[in-house]
Structure 1
Amino acid sequence: MPERLNIDAPLWDQSTFVGRFKHFLWVTDPRTCVVGDEALDNAKLLVEQYRKGTEPPGTSLEQVIYAKKLYESAFHPDSGEKQNVFGRMSFQVPGGMAITGAMLQWYRTPFAVVFWQWVNQSFNALVNYTNRNAKSPTTTTQLVVAYVSATSSAMVTALGCKYYWQKRASPFIQRYVPFAAVAAANCVNIPLMRQNEFLHGIDCSDDKGRIVGQSKVAAAKAFSQVIISRITMCAPGMLILPVIMERAEKFPFMKKITYLHGPIQVMAVGCFLSFMVPVACGLFPQRCSMKLTTLAWIEPEAYEKIKKNCGDDIPERIYFNKGL
């Protein structure tokens, strides 16, 4: 009898970057965004049935693996709730390429800068909320404050860079205004949209998956890794593409098709993101960890609570979901 698949474990080794890259290349497949709700619900049902060993007779391994792919791409790992399609990581390529391409193309006027930074940060806020650690609920007031703060920071940064560089930098350098604003806003957007995780700590478990306590330091580590991943995700497209476009726009044939510069940048960003989304998501393990001795030094109160909850069986490391 063939060995059964561990439905809750990734198909590839997550202790290596290559394994994580393969996993996220598979699970962030943009084609899963167009799968209907009925198919997604059926995939979730099959995953739950397979977990219990009650799947329909004749179910093939290929069907189980595809159901697992749909389930992991569309449902939150903590709550099991179906995610908004526009907030899923599998929507990063189509959503990100359209918005980033527009930011890179239309950056010359203050209105264009403000508008596209607002669109981008609205999209990022949705993605950050959708991929938060769902065991740390956020109130509506906190969400509104976080959204306004994040979008405002992006627009202020973008306008500040534009006005500062307008007199001091060449038109080529001004092409990097969108990236400077996006990088700065990510440092604000992610912590604000997930502030409850830092205020109250996120759930930490031992190596057996048993919840042993909460930690604010774990939340801070999760934030820092997600921020690095998000900036890495957009960096190549926003840093390399301006160089390419600066040179390409000097060619006579490009001067004749100025109306296509926007679509060209959108498609180019899509090529970058197709590779960079799994790269960025795979930079750090999804199941993040920390030595308990580190927690004892930085956050002694949380350490004492975890130590008390564990009794004699004190783990060497604690584990937590960093989010995406």
Structure 2
Amino acid sequence: MSELVSALVLKPDISKPRWDQSTFTGRAKHFFAVTSPLNLFHSDGTLDHFKTVVDDYKKGNFASSLTVSQLWKAKHVVDSAFHPVTEEKMFLIGRMSAQVPMNMAITGGMLTFYKSPSAVIFWQWLNQSFNAVVNYTNRSGESGSVSQLLGSYCAATGGALTAALGLNSLVKKAPPLIGRLVPFVAVCVANAINIPMMRSGELSKGIAIVNENGEVVGHSQKVARSAIAQVVISRIAMATPTFAFIPIVVNALERRPYFKANPRIFLPLQTALCGIVLSISTPVGCALFPQSTPVSLEQLEPELAHKIKNLSLPPKQLFCNKGL
């Protein structure tokens, strides 16, 4: 049975994650808790209740019956559903906890229907539309105008479709396995387009740099470029096991008599495999880099570094929320 918070002399510090975020293991444990699809089953009322528990606890107010397990559960659910900077409740399918069920269905479709141009267009459009929602929902906190976001979405989706259709035309005479890997290459290219385009406002205006108290002390374009690059790498790492491993398995299975006689089984099979693999690759991919990334003065533009050094109370440490 979990201890009562009121009985502890040293109470949990929920202003930061439960596990040490300077280590990969600590970040992985955090994201396994935050990206769990089970977090999607909480109603708005329950989410608001957990948010109240967390906010009240930060002010020093909590029920005498509150246990440590209940406190951390509330914190993890809040982290999964509310933006870390704006504290707004995030759009349901844009949350990282929706990555496994959503990508499970979309990736299963892309891996199964990769030959027909019309199918490629539909699945790549659906995938990039979903990615655009995720990228916007998990941005660092800044957002652009509606017209800017719409333009970014069109450019990103157009780039993804061009990459997928172009690659398909190049590998028509290649071995079947090469054709099955086309969606993976297209997704890698698309992520490199989609994420920077959807977060173009941060590239032009800079990402918020905060002190140890979470107060904004400036905006940096240099750090924005680094943060977005890390997100691109993480997203590709999430996709690699499903798009690179599953086609190899399926390519071997389709030669077996049973699978030759039952080709329709590949859609549910690949979808199920995607779900299993994504349940691991999603939190692991998120954990590659710290979400609250330490920033040194040397990483900033000279004028911004000079401004911060000359503050009346210069911060001891700087951070940025790189997004997910």
1 CA distance for matches of 2:314 and 2:114? 57
Map 1:149-188 to 2 at 5 A. 149-167=155-173, 169-188=174-193
Q: Read off the aligned partner of 1:203 and give its amino acid letter.
A: A
Map 1:23-102 to 2 at 5 A. 23-102=30-109
Is 1:301 the equivalent of 2:292? no
* Partner deviation per Cα, 1:261-304 (whole Å, 9 max, x = no partner): 10100010111111101110000011112321232xxx223223
Q: Read off the aligned partner of 1:51 and give its amino acid letter.
A: K
1 CA distance for matches of 2:138 and 2:74? 20
Q: 1:312 to 1:41 in 2, by over 3 A?
A: closer
1 CA distance for matches of 2:34 and 2:146? 30
Match of 2:115 in 1: 108
3-state SS of 1:319 partner: strand
Match of 2:127 in 1: 120
TM-score of the aligned structures, taking structure 2 as reference length: 0.94
| Count of residues in correspondence between the two structures | 317
> What do you get for the CA RMSD once the two structures are aligned?
1.4
Map 1:282-297 to 2 at 5 A. 282-295=287-300
How far apart are residue 256 of structure 1 and its match?
Answer: 2.5
Match of 1:313 in 2: 314
Structure 2 contact 222–299 (Cα < 8 Å) conserved:
no
| Long gaps (5+) in structure 1 | none
Match of 1:140 in 2: 146
Residue identity over aligned pairs, in percent, reads 44
Match of 2:283 among 255, 264, 278: 278
How far apart are residue 195 of structure 1 and its match?
Answer: 1.1
Comparing 199-208 and 211-220, the one that deviates more: 199-208
Q: Read off the aligned partner of 1:245 and give its amino acid letter.
A: V
Q: Read off the aligned partner of 1:307 and give its amino acid letter.
A: K
Q: Read off the aligned partner of 1:9 and give its amino acid letter.
A: K
Structure 2 contact 176–251 (Cα < 8 Å) conserved:
no
Q: Read off the aligned partner of 1:213 and give its amino acid letter.
A: G
1 CA distance for matches of 2:88 and 2:313? 35
1 CA distance for matches of 2:32 and 2:242? 18
2 CA distance for matches of 1:206 and 1:264? 48
Q: Read off the aligned partner of 1:319 and give its amino acid letter.
A: F
Q: Read off the aligned partner of 2:303 and give its amino acid letter.
A: E
3-state SS of 2:171 partner: helix
How far apart are residue 212 of structure 1 and its match?
Answer: 1.9
3-state SS of 1:212 partner: strand
How far apart are residue 166 of structure 1 and its match?
Answer: 1.2
Structure 2 contact 212–315 (Cα < 8 Å) conserved:
no
Is 1:13 the equivalent of 2:13? no
Match of 2:211 in 1: 206
3-state SS of 2:295 partner: strand
2 CA distance for matches of 1:15 and 1:306? 24
| Long gaps (5+) in structure 2 | 1-6
* Partner deviation per Cα, 1:157-201 (whole Å, 9 max, x = no partner): 00000111114x222201111111111111111111111111111
2 CA distance for matches of 1:292 and 1:38? 42
How far apart are residue 312 of structure 1 and its match?
Answer: 6.4
Match of 2:3 in 1: none
3-state SS of 2:74 partner: helix
2 CA distance for matches of 1:52 and 1:194? 33
Q: Read off the aligned partner of 2:138 and give its amino acid letter.
A: N
TM-score of the aligned structures, taking structure 1 as reference length: 0.94
* Partner deviation per Cα, 1:187-246 (whole Å, 9 max, x = no partner): 111111111111111111234544321100110011000000000000011001111000
2 CA distance for matches of 1:128 and 1:187? 12
Is 1:238 the equivalent of 2:239? no
* Partner deviation per Cα, 1:65-86 (whole Å, 9 max, x = no partner): 1111211111110111111110
Q: Read off the aligned partner of 1:137 and give its amino acid letter.
A: S
